[in-house]
Amino acid sequence: MTMERLQNRVSRRDAVRLSALAGAGAIAATGASTLARAQDSTPTPGEDGTPVLDQTRAPGAQVPASEVFAQAYPYSLPLLPYELGDLDPTISEETNEIHYNTLHANYIDGLNAALQEVTVVQGLTIEELLQNLALVPNDLVVNSQGVVKPLQEFVATNAGGHYNHSLWWASMSPDGGGEPTGAIAEAITTAFGDFATMQEAFRLGALGNTGSGWVWLVADAAGALTIVTTPDQDNPIATDQGFPIFGIDNWEHNYFLDYGAARGDFIDAWWDVVDWEFIGSRYDRFMTTGSS
């Protein structure tokens, strides 16, 4: 749907103050009358009455990387155990600087803004939120850039963006590289035959993902591994494609400065910074707890 058509769909009927959405449970219980009363009794902030998301950044908010998947709203950037320049030359400081401080931070700001009034999901971890996106009200809202979308879509994109990038940073180390060991290594051999075949499958997955997106190693409930791709910031948990053990961000912002249009070269080079210790632990934890 074009932006113009989407905006044309914004009518007085849709113009519900976000504060009226203080919990999907309340809305589901009381139905349209609650929304109608809120509309009648409160001024509407958007130009055409569409609620505006207040995207105000909490300055300097960061959480230790080990706690990012246990954190509930408001979400924050994971503190990295390495400097942004430490992954050079595989990924330059300039690329990581924009990626971490601007792009990842923007997803967190967008997510926190979108969930300000949605108390029903504020106690959820980022993983639980992706498993329960249906709890988020689906009324149209407008963000700080003037984009109008259902609130649930804003949350899905920004929650995926936060989760995906948190996993991205955690999956790398300046001391990375080499080959996996332990249970993850055995699972890779079972699924692909050998490590090199899995690497090739990653490259082909990334090249086949012609737009912006991610290529993932996912596990099913029994721990069996496959490679899947997702567009944009979709996360395999939300799209029911398995549990993401790790993924490679193949949006152009992640490689264009360092590799130009050669996405395949970036994927091949990335294995020099992959942190198999983290990934092996994540796989082991998933096999015992079913989560991050």
Task: Please report, as ranges, the residues that interact with Mn ion according to CB under 5 A.
Answer: 249, 251
Residue (97 or 220) nearer to Mn ion, CB: 97
* Shortest Å distance, C-beta 172 to Mn ion: 13
Residue (116 or 233) nearer to Mn ion, CB: 233
Q: Which amino acid is at 274?
A: V
* Shortest Å distance, C-beta 98 to Mn ion: 9
* Shortest Å distance, C-beta 279 to Mn ion: 18
Closest CA to 133 of 150, 156, 163, 162: 156
* Shortest Å distance, C-beta 214 to Mn ion: 8
Residue (108 or 121) nearer to Mn ion, CB: 108
Residue (121 or 159) nearer to Mn ion, CB: 159
**Residue in this structure with the two tokens 């309340």, named with its chain if needed:** 26
Beta-strand relationship, 213-219 and 148-150: unpaired
Is residue 51 within 8 A of residue 15, CB to CB? The reply is yes
Q: Which residue is nearest to Mn ion (CB)?
A: 249
* Shortest Å distance, C-beta 165 to Mn ion: 6
Half-sphere exposure at residue 233, Cβ-oriented, CA atoms within 13 angstroms: 23
* Shortest Å distance, C-beta 218 to Mn ion: 18
Is residue 162 within 8 A of residue 111, CB to CB? The reply is yes
Residue (7 or 239) nearer to Mn ion, CB: 239
**Residue in this structure with the two tokens 């942190």, named with its chain if needed:** 275
- Give the bridge partners for 148, in sequence order: 142
CA 210, 112, 110, 34 dihedral sign is positive
**Residue in this structure with the two tokens 């979308």, named with its chain if needed:** 149
Residue (206 or 225) nearer to Mn ion, CB: 206
The residue length of the chain stands at 292
